[in-house]
Amino acid sequence: MGKAEPRISVPAPAFRPGDTPGFSRLGLPRPGHHARPDILADAAEIRDLAFGLVGVLDEEANAVGDWAPGLSPEELRAGLKTMVLTREYDNRMLKMQRTKRLSFYMKSLGEEAVAVAATQALDAGDMLFPSYRQQGALIQRGAELVDMMCHCISNSRDNLKGRQLPVHYTRKDLNWFSVSGNLGTQFPQAVGWSMASALKGETAIACSWIGDGTTAEGDFHAAMTLASTYNAPVVLNVVNNQWAISMHNSISGGKAPSFAAKAIGYGIPGIRVDGNDYLAVAAVTRWAAERARGGGGPTLIESYTYRGEAHSTSDDPSKYRPKDEYEAWPLGDPVERLRAHLIKLGEWDGEQHEAWQAECKQAVADAWKEALTYGTLEEGPHAPVPTMFEDVFTAQPWHLRRQRQELGV
Amino acid sequence: MPQMNMMQALTSAMDVKLAEDERVLAFGEDVGYFGGVFGVTRGLQEKYGSSRVFDAPINEGAIIAMAMGMATNGMRPIAEIQFADYIFPGFDQIISELTRIRYRSAGQYTAPVTIRTPCGGGIYGGQTHSMSPEAFFTHIPGLVVAMPSNPYDAKGLLISCIESDDPALFFEPKRLYNGPFDGDPNKPQSSWKDHPKGEVPEGNYTVPLGVADVVREGSDVTVVAYGTMVHVALAAAEAEGVDAEIIDLRTLIPYDIDTVARSVQKTGRCVILHEAPRTSGFGAELAAQIQEDCFYSLEAPIQRVTGWDTPYPHAHEWSYFPGQERVARALKKTVEFA
């Protein structure tokens, strides 16, 4: 033993490129382990949920335990279909980025349930404050692929007039807020939005998502403090996909036992859920939404999942984590697990699945073809150049008018 | 007509808007029960209840983000930042979010938030209670920036900000809360009582954004000022016997270039005043724009009289503050330049 002295430590992931990945160390509870508390349960009574893992689908694809949400076969099929469509959309957009038709893209492989199941569990009037990896929620809300594509290539039909980089969607008509790009800023905004809803006597709540890395931002603490102080009707999600670009979640998590456990100090429920279990995500989100609507205030949900691909098209994950780590992820694939469950229920089969995949591929290809008819990133047409000077203020002040004239438009 | 000091005028503005528009809310640190550390929200919680006027956690980013979230859901929040020096933890929410949401969403979402914050020195506030950080904010696209110099304008401008569909940052020169201040710290505290701009109507009226006020007409030199410096300019011109045309900008973004340019084209000379540090201060923007618009009228270099490029010192407050003497010297130099 050396003599005791202060020393810092910098966390490192268990596995780096070249290592054999494994997750046996996680020691996660089995599906069905946790009881589902009353929606207005005292946060102090349900702290175990912050350290455990709410799961519904077991290894045999059965829905087990208290949290089974009782979704109808129609709802489950709709969820599965949206996840498959999201995945096909992502695949196509990545390809288009690789051929330089898009400047940038971010896939959601492996995290589809986190967005789709949560959105299905909410009301259409609830406002979503997403980060950049919840495209599944937008599709679940009914966005047309062609509109999403037109935004991503900033063509003449881009509803954001070419002002935002790809995947930073805004859709007020679908109660989807505006994806920022500065991490975590939407978290406290969602709290404010939900407070306004309550002040107006409306039942709509807000739901927001950030990543594990973003919990280090001050805005996480801002949102938690506001939500706790004002008992805001908001569902706050931390998508723990293990990685923040190249940084393992231990860099933001430090010695915290879980991200859900951060809720305890704020006196609000923290629930860790298997993010690759469609039924569990839906169940936990529904619990939190009912609690918020019932006056019980906010909930922090940690969706435990794994980022199946790169952070974005700008990084190569094989440079910082084992290539096969995703395959080793013990909680499986959200699409495969829901598919197996539906098949087990006799509500789906392999043929139907293949047919739907083919249909999605075709729909995505058709949408892409249509999107291009409205212009491309490189060649346009884009929104007319003078629109660049619009929407800065309600009315264009003299200095912007002069600058527009200086540009000659 | 009722007489009000600037604090009472500001309270009155919020009172009027809270009464007539249920979308209006007011919150910030100590804003609720206590009525604010300067008492500007005093009595409002009692009158409108704690769901419309309330205390907020000491987290400026949270306060501004909450206001923005509420505003995108139909509210018109007035957020108080206790001192302008404290606003920086909320800077990201202002620069990246609040002021961009209209643009970023192509007009789908708007955030009509008014941020009120006391600024400026002269109260022995030291370096963390004296700043005039307006230049950081005039650099942000999409933000209205206003700073009144008297109770009448304070109320009318604040109501304009609250009614505006754009986010607005409203600076309150705290040295003017109780009375006009001409830069001489040795004089007894003056009062807004008997000052014509201390006459403030009870009800709703507005002072339009983007419109400057020529507070003194003159022909020798144009002085462009705002906030406390308007009063310093008046006193300095008087003391120096200079026939200055003194313009109170009132709104910094968008500022009233027409009034400024017309005046400089008339006088041919210009002195710009602000309490904030000089380098990259708002005076630099004004000087650049004035020379672009008035180059052929200028008969002397444009002068700036400003705070120094140091933090606002505690003991040497009055050596830092751009007082009458320094302003008078600049006026003289500019007027005599041949």
Q: Model confidence over B43-60: pLDDT tens digits?
A: 999 999 999 999 999 999
* Chain A closest-CA separation from residue B102 CA (Å): 6
Chain A residues with CB under 8 Å of B102 CB are 391-394
Q: Report ipTM (2 d.p.).
A: 0.97
Q: Determine, for residues B57 and A225 on separate chains, whether the beta-carbon distance falls below 8 Å.
A: yes
Picking from A164, A199, A397, the nearest residue to B104 by CB comes out as A164
Q: Which of A14-23, A132-141, B253-262 has the lowest mean pLDDT?
A: A14-23
Q: What is the pLDDT of residue A22?
A: 85
Query: Quick check: B109 contacting A, CB < 8 Å?
Result: yes
The DSSP string of B18-75 is: HHH-TTEEEEETT-SSS--TTSTTTTHHHHH-TTTEEE--S-HHHHHHHHHHHHTTT-
> What is the C-alpha to C-alpha distance for residues A374 and B247, in angstroms, rounded to an integer?
51
Picking from A127, A185, A398, the nearest residue to B93 by CB comes out as A185
Query: Quick check: B49 contacting A, CB < 8 Å?
Result: no
Mean of pLDDT values over A367-392: 97
Mean pLDDT of chain A: 97
Query: Quick check: B111 contacting A, CB < 8 Å?
Result: no
* Chain B closest-CA separation from residue A158 CA (Å): 10
Picking from B101, B141, B258, the nearest residue to A178 by CB comes out as B101
- Is A55 in contact with A302 (CB distance < 8 Å)? no
Query: Quick check: A196 contacting B, CB < 8 Å?
Result: yes
* Chain B closest-CA separation from residue A389 CA (Å): 9
Q: What is the pLDDT of residue A2?
A: 66
> Which tens digit of pLDDT belongs to each residue from B158-168?
999 999 999 99
Looking up tokens 């007894």 gives B188
SS3 A217: coil
Chain B residues with CB under 8 Å of A127 CB are 73
Is the sign of the CA dihedral B160, B14, B205, B222 positive or negative? negative
Mean of pLDDT values over A270-293: 98
Chain A residues with CB under 8 Å of B261 CB are none
Between residues 161 and 180 of chain A, which touch chain B (CB distance below 8 Å)?
161, 163-164, 168, 170-172, 177-178, 180
Chain A residues with CB under 8 Å of B110 CB are 394
Picking from A159, A192, A392, the nearest residue to B66 by CB comes out as A192
Other C-beta atoms lying within 10 Å of the C-beta of residue A385: 12
Q: Which of A150-154, A166-170, B186-190, B306-310 has the lowest mean pLDDT?
A: B186-190
Q: What is the pLDDT of residue A7?
A: 94
Q: Determine, for residues A159 and B106 on separate chains, whether the beta-carbon distance falls below 8 Å.
A: yes
Which chain B residue's Cα is nearest to A234? B69
Strand order in the sheet with B24-28: B53-55, B24-28, B76-80, B114-119, B168-173, B144-146, B251-253
Give the active site residues of B.
129
Beta pairing, strands A206-211 & A176-178: unpaired
Looking up tokens 């006459």 gives B199
Q: Determine, for residues B165 and A394 on separate chains, whether the beta-carbon distance falls below 8 Å.
A: yes
Picking from B62, B75, B144, the nearest residue to A222 by CB comes out as B62
* Chain B closest-CA separation from residue A200 CA (Å): 9
Mean of pLDDT values over A269-291: 98
Amino acid in the structure at residue B135: A
Q: Determine, for residues B106 and A160 on separate chains, whether the beta-carbon distance falls below 8 Å.
A: yes
Asked whether the bond before B254 is cis by omega within 30 degrees of 0, the reply is yes
Chain B residues with CB under 8 Å of A177 CB are 72, 109
Mean pLDDT of chain B: 98
Mutate to test the interface with A, among B58, B70, B253, B257 (most CBs of A within 10 A): B70
A395: CB partners within 8 A, 6+ apart: none
The DSSP string of B109-159 is: -----EEEEEE--SSS-GGGS----HHHHHTSTT-EEE--SSHHHHHHHHH
Q: How many CB pairs under 8 A join A and B?
A: 135
Chain B residues with CB under 8 Å of A399 CB are 254, 257
Q: What is the pLDDT of residue A27?
A: 84
Chain B residues with CB under 8 Å of A163 CB are 103-104, 106
pLDDT at A183 over 70: yes
Which chain A residue's Cα is nearest to B65? A189
Mean of pLDDT values over A169-180: 98
Beta bridge partners of B273: B305
Q: Which of B240, B246, B243 is nearest to B222 (CA)?
A: B246
Query: Quick check: B261 contacting A, CB < 8 Å?
Result: no
Q: Determine, for residues B69 and A196 on separate chains, whether the beta-carbon distance falls below 8 Å.
A: yes
pLDDT at A25 over 80: no
Q: Determine, for residues A177 and B141 on separate chains, whether the beta-carbon distance falls below 8 Å.
A: no
Query: Quick check: A185 contacting B, CB < 8 Å?
Result: yes
> Which tens digit of pLDDT belongs to each residue from A340-357?
999 999 999 999 999 999
* Chain B closest-CA separation from residue A280 CA (Å): 29
Beta bridge partners of B26: B53, B78
Chain A residues with CB under 8 Å of B57 CB are 225-226, 229
Query: Quick check: B51 contacting A, CB < 8 Å?
Result: yes
Work out the angle between the directed axes of helices B257-267 and A398-407 (0-180°, nearest 10): 80
A1 band by pLDDT with thresholds 50, 70 and 90: low
Mean of pLDDT values over B194-218: 98
> What is the C-alpha to C-alpha distance for residues B272 and A31, in angstroms, rounded to an integer?
70
Query: Quick check: B60 contacting A, CB < 8 Å?
Result: no
Backbone φ and ψ of B267, nearest 5°: -85, -30
Q: Determine, for residues A192 and B68 on separate chains, whether the beta-carbon distance falls below 8 Å.
A: yes
> What is the C-alpha to C-alpha distance for residues B275 and A159, in angstroms, rounded to an integer?
43
Between residues 229 and 268 of chain A, which touch chain B (CB distance below 8 Å)?
229
Mutate to test the interface with B, among A138, A173, A231, A391 (most CBs of B within 10 A): A391
**Full-model pTM:** 0.97
How far apart, in Å, are the Cα atoms of B319 and each of A311, B120, B180, B185, B228? 54, 14, 20, 11, 16
Q: What is the largest CA-CA distance in chain A?
A: 75
Mean of pLDDT values over A159-177: 97
Q: Which of A400, A386, A407, A390 is nearest to B257 (CA)?
A: A400
* Chain A closest-CA separation from residue B105 CA (Å): 6
Looking up tokens 């310093």 gives B232
Q: What is the pLDDT of residue A24?
A: 79
Q: What is the pLDDT of residue A81?
A: 98
